[in-house]
Amino acid sequence: MSILDDAKEKWTGTINEVTIGATKQDGGTRTSVVTVGGAGALPFMNFEGPTPRAPVVAMEIWDREPDDWAQPLVDAFGPVLKSPADWARKCVEEFGAEMLCLKLAGTHPDFGDATPAQAAEVVKAVLKAVGVPLIVWGCDHDEKDNEVLPRCSQAAAGERCLLGAVKEDNYKTLVASCLADGHTILGLSPIDINIAKQINILVSEMGLPLNRIVMYPTTGALGYGIEYAHSIQERGRLAALSGDKIMSLPVLCMVGSEAWRTKEAKASQQENPAWGDEKTRGIYWEIGTASTLLQAGSDILVMRHPAAVSAIRKTISELMVK
Amino acid sequence: MALKALDIFKLLPKTNCKKCGCPTCLAFAMKLAQKQTSLDQCPDVSEVSKVELAGAAAPPIRLVTIGAGPGKLEIGNETVLFRHEESFYHTPGIGVMVSDALDGEALKARIEAIRKLKFVRVGLSMQVNVVAVVNASGQAAPFAKAVQAAGTLDLPMVLMSSQAAHLNTVLAACADKKPLIHAATDATVDAFIALAKTHNCPLAVTAPDLDKLAPLVEKARAAGIQDIVLDVTCPRVPDTLQALTAIRRLALKKNMRVLGYPCLVANSTVDPLLNVAECGMFVAKYAGIVLTELDQPEQLLPLLTIGQNLYTDPRKPIQVEAKLNAIGAVTPDSPLMITTNFSLTYYTVAGEVEASRVPAYIGVLDTEGTSVLTAFASDKLTSEKIAAFLNSDEVKSKVSHRKVIIPGYIAVMSGSLKEDSGWTVLVGPREASGISKFLKTTWTNT
Ligand code: SF4
């Protein structure tokens, strides 16, 4: 017997598998789907149990041109930032994205205030432009999201998108849409396991089964609270593997938006000469954030810079080799 | 792992002679188990028992020191697998590998690049805190030259060579700096044990897998080497990560002494982006020393930050001093903003104020290290408290106006704060990212 066998932990739980995207066969138009979850051991600890499904990187795109993105991000995408469909196509065709996360930032009342109908048109355009599954994310303004997201849900009916995010005190409208249109849902809980459980219970009580829910325990960037995110993800994963069914759901983290908000990603070289090259610093910051969270148990990582996306996808495939 | 009273009792003379001040040997064993007395109180305990008891009382993962003096690196002595269970304690050493195959100028450039890897972020300074010299040339002279050059960095060193003779030569000159000798393998273990003993330096041991590693470590232990580091670098990253986790578990949960040492990983992945991703995972998952070929600040800064973040004590929020802070060239007319003493909150606000280039005061209130929302919800950031601060001598002596900017999240407090303090209250943005715009527009227009 090898020493490694001695180190094995006996886990009793398994993470639910959640599939995002529906092909023609399943009533959608996606040309590929993504299934996450299924883990029966700590991430990539193959000696004690399976990590059957590789974590997936979803590339973040917006419904409008971002006005405060750092230059390296703007340079990486170029003019397609003006058109969500072109942006989506570039992510898939050029950067090989397996999934996209469409953020409806432009629907926020203070940031364009796009109408529900306009948002739904963007969703349709993106679905038409690419065949990969789609995450559709509101603008984090509860009232506006409740107007916008049901329209987007309808526009994408049958596509089995991941819609979000619902919160403990704002979930009914969106869950109803998800049920009607055959989507999956993202539940947001701010670094709190009890709230995460509560949301999972509330959503499943409305009739959406646990294999159609993904958890978002909120993400802190490297240097700005990543230790809280890391620990809450570890605690959640340990609870799930120890048999807590309500916590046995895949986890999503927002790596790109958090990492690229930081001073370390944005500051110019002039401002901070000791911090090094401003063209790549943000990419490394995004990679550092992703790799830390990958080890805590992340199933979907939403990321921004193509170079960071590529490095993390390579890392994941390296880790998945048995 | 703590010994139980009964295990200790078995090792005592069992004569109940009372010389230790206890009525019976069992009573003494119980006191010892609770750490209320020390073993030397019993004059009759045998040498064999002493060794066994001392070993059992030692921490499950040994604290190993590399280097000497104020910059020495202490790694190991970790007590948990997950930081939320207690805390991680000894932030890993993160360092750059220097090859002795570099010629004069390239070697110099490499050393100078490493010298620059010092950072200040969120008010804390950190730096690459170990340097490794690799005997890639296979020759003695270049190795000695490179070790000498790296020595000017004044960092704890890892000396990496497969040749005991080359190591012996350089150790003759630098053993007092307690470098880590790297690394004993199955083929060289005897010679390397002799090196570690002669020069009294810590020893790294390596093998292709844990089953082959354990007997080598056992051999070093038996020879009396105490400061051991396990190099678990495998050709494939998942194997390295599994070894790191297995060792931590076996040491802590199975009390496997032979693996109760800090671990080292040396990463030579060529693609720098991939290298950083891999090193980040090693830092997150239990490595005591992570060595990389990279030497650029933007590559090392995230790695050091991962260590800094994950090794903070989750039981104690990091706090900054509650006082009036000036950012930039302030005058009595500069804006005054209020925030909490939770370090993350403060440094995020301070960073944004700095970036805005608008000189400003930040008034830090003692909220016991909680963020704005939490502090407000738990009555640690009240209108009375802010009012008292605004009317304190500290503020009066530096700020001539009476307009305060409060965080957007406590906008509801505006009315009561105005009443309590007599100041005009401006509601700032909710997120720190809006500060720059606020200072440049809203503030300027008031
Ligand atoms: S001094 Fe030692 S032998 Fe005597 S009673 Fe105490 S423990 Fe026992």
pLDDT value of residue A227? 93
The tokens 């209108």 sit on which residue?
B383
User: pLDDT tens, B124-145?
Assistant: 889 999 999 999 999 999 999 9
- Point out the residue among A224, A231, A311 whose CB comes nearest to the CB of B277: A311
pLDDT value of residue B433? 75
Average pLDDT over residues B418-442: 89
Nearest CA to ligand 1 atom 6: B20
Kindly tell me if the per-residue pLDDT of B54 is higher than 80: no
Asked if the Cβ–Cβ distance from A222 to B306 is below 8 Å, we say: yes
Inform me whether the C-beta atom of residue A242 falls under 8 Å from chain B C-beta atoms. Answer: no
Mutation choice for ligand 1 from B9, B10, B12, B26, CB with most ligand atoms inside 8 A: B12
Kindly tell me if the per-residue pLDDT of B4 is higher than 80: no
3-state secondary structure of B118: strand
Cα separations in angstroms, A64 against A135, A173, A255, A320, B277:
16, 25, 20, 36, 31
Of B26, B43, B123, B80, nearest to B351 by C-alpha is B123
- Point out the residue among B284, B299, B348 whose CB comes nearest to the CB of A284: B299
Report chain B residues whose CB lies below 8 A from the CB of A311.
271, 273-274, 276-277
- pLDDT tier for residue A274 given thresholds of 50, 70 and 90: very high
Residue B54 CA to ligand 1 center (angstroms) comes to: 17
Of A304, A5, A293, nearest to A315 by C-alpha is A293
User: B308 to chain A: nearest residue by CA?
Assistant: A223
Of A252, A136, A244, A141, nearest to A187 by C-alpha is A252
Domains and their CATH numbers in chain A: 52-316 (3.20.20.20)
Of A286, A114, A232, A209, nearest to B277 by C-alpha is A286
Helices and strands per DSSP (H, E), number in chain B: 17, 17
Residue B257 CA to ligand 1 center (angstroms) comes to: 28
Kindly tell me if the per-residue pLDDT of A120 is higher than 90: yes
Could you tell me the sign of the dihedral formed by the alpha carbons of A94, A95, A97, A101, in that order? Answer: negative
Asked if the Cβ–Cβ distance from B121 to A321 is below 8 Å, we say: no
Distance (Å, whole) CA B429 – CA B177: 52
Bin B407: left if φ > 0, else alpha if -120 < ψ < 50, else beta.
beta
Report chain A residues whose CB lies below 8 A from the CB of B281.
291-292, 294-295, 315
Kindly give the pairing relationship between strand B228-231 and strand B263-267.
Answer: parallel
Mutation choice for ligand 1 from B42, B45, B49, CB with most ligand atoms inside 8 A: B42
pLDDT value of residue A1? 67
Distance (Å, whole) CA A130 – CA A126: 6
- Point out the residue among B119, B249, B309 whose CB comes nearest to the CB of A226: B309
Of B417, B105, B83, B125, nearest to B283 by C-alpha is B83
Q: Which residues line ligand 1 (CB under 6 A)?
A: B 12-13, 15-20, 22, 25, 28, 42, 44
ipTM value for the complex: 0.97
Mutation choice for ligand 1 from B15, B41, B45, CB with most ligand atoms inside 8 A: B15
Asked if the Cβ–Cβ distance from A47 to B296 is below 8 Å, we say: no
Least confident of A150-159, A259-268, B76-85: A259-268
Inform me whether the C-beta atom of residue A243 falls under 8 Å from chain B C-beta atoms. Answer: no
Mutation choice for ligand 1 from B11, B14, B17, B49, CB with most ligand atoms inside 8 A: B17
The A residues from 257 to 276 touching B (CB cutoff 8 Å) are 261, 263-264, 267, 271, 274-276
Residue B28 CA to ligand 1 center (angstroms) comes to: 7
pLDDT value of residue B189? 97
Report chain B residues whose CB lies below 8 A from the CB of A258.
none
C-alpha distance from A40 to closest chain B C-alpha (Å) = 15
- pLDDT tier for residue A49 given thresholds of 50, 70 and 90: confident
- pLDDT tier for residue B1 given thresholds of 50, 70 and 90: very low
Which residue out of A218, A284, A298 would a mutagenesis test of the B interface target, given it has the greatest number of B Cβ atoms within 10 Å? A284
User: pLDDT tens, B220-243?
Assistant: 999 999 999 999 999 999 999 999
- Give this prediction's pTM: 0.88
User: B118 to chain A: nearest residue by CA?
Assistant: A274
Distance (Å, whole) CA B41 – CA B19: 8
- Point out the residue among B283, B298, B309 whose CB comes nearest to the CB of A227: B309
Inform me whether the C-beta atom of residue A223 falls under 8 Å from chain B C-beta atoms. Answer: yes
Domains and their CATH numbers in chain B: 5-57 (1.10.15.40), 64-310 (3.20.20.20), 324-443 (3.40.50.11600)
Kind and range of the H or E run holding B281: helix B272-284
User: pLDDT tens, A129-145?
Assistant: 999 999 999 998 889 99
The answer to whether residues A258 and A307 touch, using CB atoms and an 8 Å cutoff, is no
**Average model confidence (pLDDT) across chain B:** 93
Least confident of A56-60, A173-177, B22-26, B49-53: B49-53
Of B112, B76, B11, B101, nearest to B311 by C-alpha is B76
Residue-by-residue DSSP string for B222-254: HTT---EEEE---SSHHHHHHHHHHHHHHHHHS
Report chain A residues whose CB lies below 8 A from the CB of B238.
44, 46, 318-321
Kindly tell me if the per-residue pLDDT of B378 is higher than 70: yes
Nearest CA to ligand 1 atom 2: B42
Q: Which one has a higher pLDDT value, A315 or B254?
A: A315
Which residue out of B80, B81, B82, B115 would a mutagenesis test of the A interface target, given it has the greatest number of A Cβ atoms within 10 Å? B82
Kindly tell me if the per-residue pLDDT of A258 is higher than 60: yes
Of A254, A212, A213, nearest to A233 by C-alpha is A254
Q: Which two structure tokens, joined as six digits, stand for B122?
A: 């969120």
CA atoms within 13 Å, Cβ hemisphere of A1: 6
Report chain B residues whose CB lies below 8 A from the CB of A280.
298
The secondary structure of residue A229, as a DSSP letter, is H
C-alpha distance from A102 to closest chain B C-alpha (Å) = 22
Of B126, B92, B84, B123, nearest to B313 by C-alpha is B84
